[in-house]
Structure 1
Amino acid sequence: MPKIVDRAARQEEILDAAVKVFARKGFAASRIEDVAAEAGIAKGSVYLYFESRNALLAGVFDSYAGKAAGVLAELGSGSPLERLRRLITGAVAMLAAHPDHARVLLDVWASNPPIDMAAVYREYRGAVADLLSEAECAGELRPGIGAGHAVVIVGAIEGCLVQALVDPELPLRELAEPIIQICVDGIRR
């Protein structure tokens, strides 16, 4: 009797293996054979799920984007600045929980990746800008705070991530509160 394989679970196993390999070796130096070996499957099995190395990278990126979208979906209710606080805390926690995903993204930032990383940044900046706009309407912000500050807030999160990736002694999760103190409390009226 043939073995029944759960396609979704196998695809997730391959993506998890790809994240580990890409984070360890870098995307440019990684091969499909490396991913297959990490997943404990034959090279041809990877091709049953992903047509190329670029498709595999796109799958890794989609997995990361899904995690990022989950953070945005869980902002809940409350004042705009309270939701911004939850966004920062959630984003830092998600990045700290998935450092290999972050390493892969850092690796491909400098290249010309076959993925739309700008779209994820636009989504995050848009969410932050919307919260800032709501906070302004509610009279919660100091004068002069606008959409440009959304770029700075996302940059603060990403900057802390990059530092934590290059210096493993830096506790990324513990940086959520200082980011909040500067990027939320610092703009409050």
Structure 2
Amino acid sequence: MPKIVDKEKKRHEIVEASVQVFKCRGYQGTRIIDIAKEAGIGKGTVYEYFNSKDEIILSVFDELFLDYEQLLYTRANSDRPPIEELLSSVASAFEDLDNCSELIPVYFELWSSRQLCESLGLQSRMGQWFERLSAAYTKLIEKGQRSQEISREIEARAFARTLVSAIDGIILHYCLFKPDKVFFAKQKQELERTLRRSLLP
């Protein structure tokens, strides 16, 4: 019998392999054949799942955002206090930053090329990503407001977008400057304290 292939798993494996190649070679320096070799498959197999290198790099970032978005919606539907879920979600955004930081040069490579940005539709796509993350945080905040655990004076959507922007800035700062781990832990504690004070009625 022919082997049954889990297509979603194979697609994910190709994306994971591409991450390793992009980290080493950058976006412009990466070829489909490089990704195929890293994944241990033929070049033709890559094209069975992706039409181009552009589609692969977008899938890399899609997976990063989608995983976090799903986490937020899971927590928005939990029975734990909304403030605790929100703070826990923020903390989750700062996990595994050392691995994430290796992709930052690729991120800047894409943004620094107007042609690449336009061909990938990167600005529009990232705007959609951030809007979806903001919507997930908005849902958490509004849940807390309904249960009177979060201040009703907060404009939920504006607060959520501000929070997403702050998280993005902190992640970028960490990846670029690699602060001392002890000091970074203190930064996260201060962020949690500030958020908790801001959210409480």
Contact in 2 for aligned 1:88/1:176 (Cα 8 Å)? no
Structure holding more helix per residue: 2
Counterpart pick for 1:152 among 162, 170, 174: 162
Work out the CA distance in 2 between the residues paired with 1:81 and 1:106.
34
Matched-pair contact (CA < 8 Å) for 2:83–2:144: yes
Deviation sequence 1:74-119 (CA, Å, 0-9, x none): 31223332221122122223x5385168635565455333462222
Q: Which amino acid aligns with 2:32?
A: I
Q: May I ask how many residue pairs the two structures share in their alignment?
A: 188
> 1:3/1:135 Cα in 2 relative to 1: closer, same or farther (>3 Å)?
closer
Partner Cα distance (2:83, 2:66) in 1: 24
Structure 1 residue 49 displacement after superposition: 1.8
Please tell me whether the aligned partners of residues 13 and 39 of structure 2 are also in contact (alpha carbons under 8 angstroms): yes
Partner of 2:140: 131
- 1:84–1:128 Cα contact (<8 Å) kept: yes
> Within 1, Cα distance between the matches of 2:24 and 2:144?
42
Relative distance call for 1:51 and 1:183 in structure 2 (3 A) is same
Question: Are the counterparts in 1 of residues 83 and 199 from structure 2 also a CA contact under 8 Å?
Answer: no
Whichever residue aligns with residue 157 of structure 2, its letter is A
Distance 2:56 2:159 in 1: 34
State whether structure 2 residue 20 is matched by structure 1 residue 20: yes
* Residue 10 of structure 1 pairs with residue 22 of structure 2: no
Matched, 1:184 2:184: no
Per the TM alignment, residue 16 of structure 1 is displaced from its structure 2 partner at its CA by 0.5
Please give the TM-score of this superposition, normalised by the length of structure 1: 0.77
Q: 2:83 aligns with which of 81, 84, 94?
A: 81
C-alpha distance 102-118 of structure 1, shift in aligned 2 (>3 A): farther
Which runs of 5 or more structure 1 residues have no equivalent in the other structure? Answer: none
Q: Name the % identity.
A: 25
Equivalent pair of 1:11/1:49 in contact (CA under 8 Å): yes
Q: What is the aligned partner in structure 2 of residue 62 from structure 1? A: 62
Q: 1:24 to 1:178 in 2, by over 3 A?
A: farther
Q: Relative to structure 2, which stretch is displaced further, 122-131 or 95-104?
A: 95-104
Cα deviation code 1:111-140 (max 9, x no counterpart): 333462222211111122233334344163
Aligned residue for 1:78, secondary structure, equals coil
User: What displacement does 1:160 show?
Assistant: 1.4
Gaps of 5+ in 2: none
Which residue identity does 2:193 align to in structure 1? Q
**Distance change (3 Å), C-alpha of 1:19 and 1:88:** same
8 Å CA contact 2:72–2:136 kept in 1: the answer is yes
Match of residue 131 from structure 2: 122
Q: Cα gap change, 1:102/1:127 in structure 2, threshold over 3 Å: closer, same or farther?
A: farther
